Chains A and B, each alone.
Chain A
């Protein structure tokens, strides 16, 4: 539980976690084991394991599928649908499956189901959003298309990939398969809890390597719930308890995932008991939520990380001392209070609180609000007189960007201006072309609960989302060493050393972590949100009459 620590000074008593809620569920006679709970989602973009990367799709899939691993309270992986996931050299991993699992159509779950699903997800021309999760597996490169010979504009099509399947996946027997990675990765087990790694039944495929087009309208999984009808677009997805499920049985008879256009409508429905759970209460309702819902309004940490990034290649921001001064001039807690009404928490670390190895104040002195010291430091380091803050206007960012800018004006005596870009894509394009956008905002959601999921893509020289031109060979080396360390504990040590370098170099300044601000009706209890911000369907209970 130590990681669910939250910022003091918020309006609501915060210590509400699984254990505490569990206390008032003593009245087991009142719990209705066949009750159906309704949970708000948005219209999912996709509903297949390999293609879903939006919160709503993932929430539904978590009902339909059982993951290979789950996570304990310290965010360490524990096998779920697997009996063991082991490796001697962190390169060749042997995954043994639990016996007795079946898909909802009666098919037995075998290792081949995993291999087929993963190969389908990885194969480049299938264009699956989660394909890159398999990039650590040997032979992934050969399943990707080569670059287009005459560029994307030209008439010629790129040649087909050299292989249809990854050479690193090998079936040993019906319940065992072997995964060979291209490079040792100590925390491979941690990745496997993500929804991209669910298996697919034979019935999902029209022919080898071709998924049935209507599979996502009624996915067949191996999890505790099965589809009850089809995905009714913009309306709902209903699932019912799957009786033959051998794992932990859920305590409800079914779930109705109700699709809402706006969370404010869902909130109104929770208030009038028409909806049971809203996973994220809209910010404008947060101030009244404690009165509206009482202890049915709860919070927990989430993985989303908001930060300001510096174009470190620009002369103005090349000096880490300038970046530090700017960081020290921002009063994070004040912005959380006034703009976010306590719906987010201040960040003083480069990884979120839902990963093992998180330290509350990894950023140290650099993230401590001290306007006087900031001004002195800024003047000494010769920071620019004019600062520009860029953000994308299609997200809810204007208010806090304005507030941040005002703080910089007041505390550093600079001329700070804010510049909205219509969309995040516009902003990123300008950054990639190294146009002058000044300091810009970005957000990040982890792919899997590991420090590496932040450090790798965001800050390594070749990181996929390193838009700020940050490059530190020592940092790259530590992350590299961490991912190949002997044990997960040693990996964390290396990652933390790497994080310390970030606190010194400050290519970005941490601002806030998101929180799950969830609420529920009087019909349900034991509502818990997991580290992927999904409602835990194994714990929730419906109260009968």
Chain B
């Protein structure tokens, strides 16, 4: 087990360096005139252009720019945004918001998804099963760009149950509505997946055996059916966590939560290579670590799986 983990960690280092390089290269290929992109419609005066171009090494070839970036990275300096703000500061402001939001979204998705999926799976064909099927179809069909403003209008503005926006220093309460919205699609998928998985496992031999042994229905469902049904669901959770962090652009905008998604968007719009690479690097680490955790969880859930 320990050897397996160490091997995975070493692979991560290689993957990490590879991704920064690829992302930096992509950003460089997309780079046209970051200073103009930042200024928008206004012209950039010659001396501003001259000084900033030199300061940010914008006229250097790709490898030199990447070299400067990696040199800074190794000394703990992530560089500065085009408006002169240290990227380290931007990250330490944005990440906590995103992590809170994504974890809360995942929490709701898991809670509602698995519970509803379990019930629906055990009572196939019931009214509950059919209602949730219809509901999940609606949620999956509604893009978040529609869902988020509607939720805000109904529950924030009209009913006043939740704060309309969460802000840059969000309270847990303020994050509930955005997290529900962000997690809506995941909830639906997770529910369908749990239902299918449970429905299949209920008929498995070991469940019949367990029942025959005279175990209580509760124990059969919780330990035998659910535990085995969770393997595909855990895989989904692992993938979703990363997506929820990077892909919250709409939710962040609607509920005004400055996080990773909106910073990535800004970085891409202003062709700010170091900003994008900084955030993507951390995202890559998040993906790698969650995937490792998911793989390890398989072994916990199903004793037949072993790692060497």
In the assembled complex, B171 has its CB within 8 A of some CB on chain A: no
Chain A neighbourhood of B201, CB < 8 A: none
Q: How many A-B residue pairs have CB under 8 A?
A: 126
- The prevalent SS among residues of A at the interface is loop
Chain B neighbourhood of A425, CB < 8 A: 32-33, 36-37
Q: Residue-by-residue, is A329-345 near B (CB-CB < 8 Å gives 1, otherwise 0)? A: 00000000000000000
Among the stretches A4-12, A22-30, A126-134, A362-370, the one at the interface with B is: A126-134
- Whole-angstrom distance between the alpha carbons of A301 and B24 in the complex? 43
Contact A265 B256 (CB under 8 A): yes
Chain B neighbourhood of A128, CB < 8 A: 48
In the assembled complex, B133 has its CB within 8 A of some CB on chain A: no
Chain B neighbourhood of A232, CB < 8 A: 168
Question: Pick the contact of B157 from A271, A444, A465 — CB < 8 Å?
Answer: A271
In the assembled complex, A228 has its CB within 8 A of some CB on chain B: no
In the assembled complex, A372 has its CB within 8 A of some CB on chain B: no
- Whole-angstrom distance between the alpha carbons of A99 and B149 in the complex? 52
- Whole-angstrom distance between the alpha carbons of A232 and B168 in the complex? 9
Contact A45 B83 (CB under 8 A): yes
Chain A neighbourhood of B75, CB < 8 A: none
- The prevalent SS among residues of B at the interface is helix
Contact A132 B45 (CB under 8 A): yes
Chain B neighbourhood of A445, CB < 8 A: 41-42
Given A45-B83, A234-B93, A423 contacting B32 (CB threshold 8 A): yes
Contact B33 A261 (CB under 8 A): no
Contact A272 B42 (CB under 8 A): no
- Whole-angstrom distance between the alpha carbons of A262 and B52 in the complex? 28
Given A125-B51, A423-B32, A233 contacting B85 (CB threshold 8 A): yes
In the assembled complex, A248 has its CB within 8 A of some CB on chain B: no
Q: Which of A46, A127, A258, A428 has the most CB of B within 10 A?
A: A127
Given A127-B48, A264-B254, A265-B165, A272 contacting B32 (CB threshold 8 A): no
Chain B neighbourhood of A396, CB < 8 A: none
In the assembled complex, A158 has its CB within 8 A of some CB on chain B: yes
Question: Pick the contact of A442 from B41, B55, B153, B253 — CB < 8 Å?
Answer: B41
Given A233-B90, A236-B168, A261 contacting B256 (CB threshold 8 A): yes
In the assembled complex, B141 has its CB within 8 A of some CB on chain A: no
Would you give the shortest CB distance from B84 to chain A, in whole angstroms? 8
Contact B258 A272 (CB under 8 A): no
In the assembled complex, A260 has its CB within 8 A of some CB on chain B: yes
Q: Size of chain B's interface in residues, with CB distance under 8 A?
A: 48
Contacting residues of chain A (188-243) with chain B, CB-CB under 8 angstroms: 232-236
Q: Which residue of B is nearest A233, CB measured?
A: B93
Q: Which residue of A is nearest B50, CB measured?
A: A145
Q: Residue-by-residue, is B136-175 near A (CB-CB < 8 Å gives 1, otherwise 0)? A: 0000000000000100110011001001110111000000
Question: Pick the contact of A465 from B43, B152, B153 — CB < 8 Å?
Answer: B43
Contact A127 B253 (CB under 8 A): no
Q: Size of chain A's interface in residues, with CB distance under 8 A?
A: 52
Contacting residues of chain A (123-182) with chain B, CB-CB under 8 angstroms: 124-129, 131-132, 144-145, 148, 152-153, 157-158
Chain B neighbourhood of A423, CB < 8 A: 32-33, 36-37
In the assembled complex, B89 has its CB within 8 A of some CB on chain A: yes
In the assembled complex, A286 has its CB within 8 A of some CB on chain B: no
Given A128-B48, A268-B164, A261 contacting B41 (CB threshold 8 A): no
Q: Which residue of A is nearest B52, CB measured?
A: A127
- Whole-angstrom distance between the alpha carbons of A184 and B27 in the complex? 47
Chain A neighbourhood of B163, CB < 8 A: 274
Question: Pick the contact of B252 from A145, A261, A394, A395 — CB < 8 Å?
Answer: A261
Chain B neighbourhood of A126, CB < 8 A: 51
Would you give the shortest CB distance from A415 to chain B, in whole angstroms? 29
In the assembled complex, B47 has its CB within 8 A of some CB on chain A: yes
Q: Residue-by-residue, is B17-41 near A (CB-CB < 8 Å gives 1, otherwise 0)? A: 0000000000000001100111111
- Whole-angstrom distance between the alpha carbons of A259 and B55 in the complex? 28
In the assembled complex, A544 has its CB within 8 A of some CB on chain B: no
Chain B neighbourhood of A124, CB < 8 A: 47, 51
Contact A152 B50 (CB under 8 A): yes
Chain B neighbourhood of A262, CB < 8 A: 253-254, 256
In the assembled complex, A21 has its CB within 8 A of some CB on chain B: no
Q: Residue-by-residue, is B199-210 near A (CB-CB < 8 Å gives 1, otherwise 0)? A: 000000000000
In the assembled complex, B53 has its CB within 8 A of some CB on chain A: yes
In the assembled complex, B186 has its CB within 8 A of some CB on chain A: no
Would you give the shortest CB distance from B175 to chain A, in whole angstroms? 14
- Whole-angstrom distance between the alpha carbons of A128 and B39 in the complex? 13
Question: Pick the contact of A152 from B47, B59, B90, B165 — CB < 8 Å?
Answer: B59
- Whole-angstrom distance between the alpha carbons of A265 and B170 in the complex? 14
Chain B neighbourhood of A2, CB < 8 A: none
In the assembled complex, A380 has its CB within 8 A of some CB on chain B: no
Would you give the shortest CB distance from A219 to chain B, in whole angstroms? 15
- Whole-angstrom distance between the alpha carbons of A190 and B57 in the complex? 38
Contact B168 A259 (CB under 8 A): yes
Q: Which residue of A is nearest B269, CB measured?
A: A394
Contact A424 B269 (CB under 8 A): no
Chain B neighbourhood of A233, CB < 8 A: 85, 89-90, 93
Contact B50 A158 (CB under 8 A): yes
Q: Residue-by-residue, is B35-79 near A (CB-CB < 8 Å gives 1, otherwise 0)? A: 011111111010110111111000100000000000000000000
Q: Which residue of A is nearest B48, CB measured?
A: A127
- Whole-angstrom distance between the alpha carbons of A127 and B82 in the complex? 13
- Whole-angstrom distance between the alpha carbons of A144 and B169 in the complex? 43
- Whole-angstrom distance between the alpha carbons of A269 and B160 in the complex? 11
Would you give the shortest CB distance from B249 to chain A, in whole angstroms? 9
In the assembled complex, A473 has its CB within 8 A of some CB on chain B: no
Contact B59 A153 (CB under 8 A): yes
- Whole-angstrom distance between the alpha carbons of A260 and B254 in the complex? 10
- Whole-angstrom distance between the alpha carbons of A425 and B43 in the complex? 9
Chain A neighbourhood of B164, CB < 8 A: 265, 268-269, 271-272, 274
Chain A neighbourhood of B269, CB < 8 A: 394
Q: Which 7 A-B pairs have the closest CB atoms?
A: A235-B168, A425-B36, A127-B51, A234-B258, A425-B33, A265-B256, A124-B47
B residues whose Cβ falls under 8 Å from a Cβ of A = 32-33, 36-43, 45, 47-48, 50-55, 59, 83-85, 89-90, 93-94, 149, 152-153, 156-157, 160, 163-165, 167-169, 252-258, 262, 269
Q: 27 A-B pairs, CB-CB below 8 angstroms? A: A46-B83, A53-B39, A125-B51, A128-B48, A131-B45, A232-B168, A233-B85, A233-B89, A233-B90, A234-B94, A234-B168, A235-B167, A260-B256, A261-B256, A262-B254, A265-B164, A268-B152, A268-B164, A269-B164, A271-B164, A272-B157, A394-B37, A395-B41, A423-B33, A442-B41, A464-B43, A465-B43
